[in-house]
Structure 1
Amino acid sequence: MTASQSLRLYELTSEFITDKDKAKEYVARIEEVVDQKFKDKETVLATKSDIAILRKEIAESKLDIIKWFVATGIALTGLVAALVKLL
């Protein structure tokens, strides 16, 4: 959380919790929870570089699939030609 957010949260909390030390402790605990939630989500969220790497891997996989598809087509054509020749 930013300092201004913490200050605003403290001001709101101090309206309901008259003891300043307890209000500060309450705000500190809320900040810890919020920071932990953001850290937990960091591992789930993708950055631009993560997406770029993923796109590159997808493009490479697509190329490999096309290569195997063409090779399989050629092999099947050869197999059919050999079977026709035998019959």
Structure 2
Amino acid sequence: MSWFLYILKSKVNEKFYVGISQNPERRLEYHNSIEKGFTSRYRPWEIIFTKEFRIRADAQAFEKKLKSWKNKKAIEDFLLRNK
């Protein structure tokens, strides 16, 4: 089964969230329904990017790379280059 890297964007501010899942739509529902944690503070979220991987470790490595940027501008630039 495939793994997906996904990027969520908050509909109430300019926050991004990066994660991996085998089912990004179901994961979005989770992020929009939880009561605690980072994603609960900035919901509702929408999926703005997905990338499919065959191997979980590859998805995790890409997730780690994006999360290491810690810079909203870097993620925005990535999204512009990968439309």
TM-score (ref. length: structure 2): 0.28
More strand by share: 2
Q: Which has the bigger relative contact order, CA under 8 A and spacing at least 6? A: 2
TM-score (ref. length: structure 1): 0.27
**Is the radius of gyration larger for structure 1 or structure 2?**
1
